[in-house]
Amino acid sequence: MNSKSEEIVKRIQASIVPWKDNIIEKRMFGGNCFLYQGKMCVGETKERLMVRVISEKGFDTEEKLQQWVELGMEHALLKSNS
């Protein structure tokens, strides 16, 4: 694991302290993932933060869908300008 990946993992480890009794760390997807009661919630892969989010309930209205689309567009715009 390179230094950028290690830094992300250390930051995640510090962030999950309130739930640490119910979290395990596991190698998955080419990186380190953190599972809360057996369910993947957050991790690092290829020097990037990976977060598991609610899907079906996450965009059940047009307003919620718009929020997700805008987050995706924000990512694409940032990447295309770098």
CA–CA gap between residue 79 and residue 27 (Å, rounded) = 27
Closest to 39 in 3D by CA, of 20, 56, 52: 52
pLDDT in tens, 42-73: 999 999 999 987 666 667 888 888 887 888 78
Model pTM score: 0.69
Cα–Cα–Cα angle for 62, 39, 13, rounded to 5 degrees: 100
Helix (H) or strand (E) holding 70: helix 62-80
**What is the rounded average pLDDT of the residues 18-27?**
95
- In the 8-state DSSP scheme, what is residue 42? E
In this structure, is the dihedral angle defined by the CA atoms of residues 24, 28, 29 and 32, taken in order, positive or negative? positive
